[in-house]
Structure 1
């Protein structure tokens, strides 16, 4: 396959600095943390605000939910605070809300654009 000549086939683009390897590694870790349906369910439950770990357990074991929340915390997707014996989690910031909502919307599109 022959490389295309950018001058012939593409509109001129302003130069953009590529992300550093560290930025790409952090982004990959973020997507890895998002790559589990059970962790995504926790994020979904947190979209309305802060919740105590006990409220998030449901039918799962506390240790399982705690491990999932730790993964989300390590990826900076959630934050937590302690109040006496209870831990409370919430989405880290508005970026996480938007990322999650955009991912849900994209995953549920009826027709995904395929290559020509």
Structure 2
């Protein structure tokens, strides 16, 4: 059956460059970004490295809640941690994460009525 759209070239060559495992990983990243609380953590960490206590104070949340969010973000490799004595400091994993968060926020601002 021939599609009814006007484009005669119906190839999907761009999709063939992305295998299923990469799509699964990207979907996991977007699921992690889909929670406003986790997104707020990433916004803070895009600005500076912080410990759990600093994040909890900034967001007025319980430290256990922040720790759970950081655990999930770390499992998706969106944040990384470093130990300094008995404290763990968190930051975004790389510039891609900062850009992804920034682009999402910018797009949300553009599409607000």
TM-score (norm 2): 0.84
Matched, 1:28 2:30: no
Match of residue 66 from structure 1 = 67
Is the radius of gyration larger for structure 1 or structure 2? 1
Runs of at least 4 residues of structure 1 off by over 3 A? 10-16
Task: Name the SS of the counterpart of 1:40 in structure 2.
Answer: helix
Give the unaligned 5+ runs of structure 1. none
Task: Name the SS of the counterpart of 2:18 in structure 1.
Answer: coil
Over 3 Å counting, the alpha-carbon distance change for 1:111 and 1:89 in structure 2 is: closer
Q: Deviations over 1:42-78 (max 9, x none)?
A: 1111112211111011221111100001111111111
Matched residues in 2 for 1:19 and 1:51: separation? 34
- Could you say which structure has the greater relative contact order, defined with CA pairs below 8 angstroms and 6 or more residues apart? 2
Match of residue 52 from structure 1 = 51
Match of residue 41 from structure 1 = 40
Aligned residues: 110
Aligned-residue Cα RMSD (Å) equals 2.5
Matched, 1:76 2:74: no
Matched residues in 2 for 1:4 and 1:18: separation? 26
**Aligned-pair distance for 1:18?**
3.5
TM-score (norm 1): 0.82
